[in-house]
Amino acid sequence: MTREEFDTALQADGYSPAVAVERPPGYSLGDHQHPFDACALITAGDITLTVDGQSRTYAAGEIFRLPAGTPHLENAGPSGFAYLVCRRHAPA
């Protein structure tokens, strides 16, 4: 899936335009949550997300989704990671 295909599909579903994010090897973010739905396409490296005690690693070419308010942890793989992420805020 190209950046354009990813961006177009998600914008049609109410998400903001994609933003590129990169994190270095060793990156780790403890338990946190976001006030928006997130959908990300991994473009390089890999990231491990832990939700409800269950860890899953996403590699380049894979997509993950996190609903708003989902507590989770983030850890970079040995090469770090890069992804395109889109956000969708709940209607006011």
| Cβ atoms of 65 and 37 closer than 8 Å | yes
Domain boundaries, the chain: 3-89
Whether this prediction's pTM lies above 0.75 is answered by yes
Q: Say which CATH architecture domain 3-89 belongs to.
A: Sandwich (2.60)
Give the pLDDT of residue 3.
Answer: 80
* Cα–Cα distance measured from residue 31 to residue 11, given in angstroms and rounded to the nearest whole number: 28
The string of pLDDT tens digits covering residues 25-56 is 999 999 999 999 999 999 999 999 999 999 99
* Cα–Cα distance measured from residue 52 to residue 6, given in angstroms and rounded to the nearest whole number: 27
The string of pLDDT tens digits covering residues 62-83 is 999 999 999 999 999 999 999 9
